[in-house]
């Protein structure tokens, strides 16, 4: 069941412990938290576990949130902190510190960049899924690293057609990402 509420109504229901409101928040942010956590731990299942743990902590504190932005911020901070804890458990302290320092996001600026990248990847995935069949297949093949010639051959299209589809779709992506950039979040 999809909730169609203003943010204020959603937050009130969320604070009251409403299950559907929590499910809506989970659906809205879960995938981004998984991608964000994966940037730290480089293990898909562990990233999902960490993201799920962040939502459990969110649910336990549901009555303390005043906006979707505070929920989002809480999820990113909790996920980041839990990823760092995980890395420290898995590796010897010195190794974890070195990995965090050199391979993972370790300061506020890197964390913000990682969060933005995660959300952009989610939006690009949504955009690709919303495309008609042929442009969707062209973009999936393109993003997997195939050349225009390979895509044209596999899909039975002219190379020029593949170029036009890629060009139009990339322009569409740019427009949608501009809309995201203008978003209040």
| Confidence check: pLDDT of 3 > 80 | no
Residue 27, pLDDT score: 92
Mean pLDDT of the 121-138 span:
87
| Topology adopted by domain 1-106 | Rna Polymerase Sigma Factor; Chain: A (1.10.1740)
pTM beyond 0.85: no
Inter-residue long-range contacts of 86-94, CB under 8 Å, 24+ positions, other chains counted: 86/40, 86/41, 86/46, 86/50, 87/40, 87/41
The full length of the chain comes to 185
Alpha-carbon distance values, 108 to 51, 76, 86, 149, 184 (Å): 19, 11, 19, 42, 20
């Amino acid at each position: 069941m999809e909730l169609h509420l203003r943010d204020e109504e959603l937050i009130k229901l969320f604070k009251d412990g409403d299950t559907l409101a929590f499910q809506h928040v989970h659906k809205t942010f879960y995938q981004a938290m998984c991608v964000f956590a994966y940037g730290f731990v480089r293990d898909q299942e562990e990233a999902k576990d960490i993201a799920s743990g962040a939502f459990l902590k969110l649910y336990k504190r549901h009555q303390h949130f005043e906006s979707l932005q505070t929920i989002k911020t809480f999820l990113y901070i909790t996920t980041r902190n839990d990823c760092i804890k995980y890395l420290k458990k898995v590796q010897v302290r010195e190794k974890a510190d070195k990995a965090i320092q050199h391979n993972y996001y370790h300061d506020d600026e890197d964390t913000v960049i990682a969060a933005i990248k995660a959300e952009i990847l989610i939006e690009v995935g949504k955009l690709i899924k919303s495309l008609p069949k042929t442009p969707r297949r062209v973009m999936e093949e393109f993003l997997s690293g195939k050349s225009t010639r390979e895509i044209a051959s596999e899909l039975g299209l002219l190379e020029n057609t593949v170029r036009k589809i890629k060009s139009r779709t990339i322009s569409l992506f740019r427009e949608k990402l501009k809309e995201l950039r203008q978003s209040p979040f």
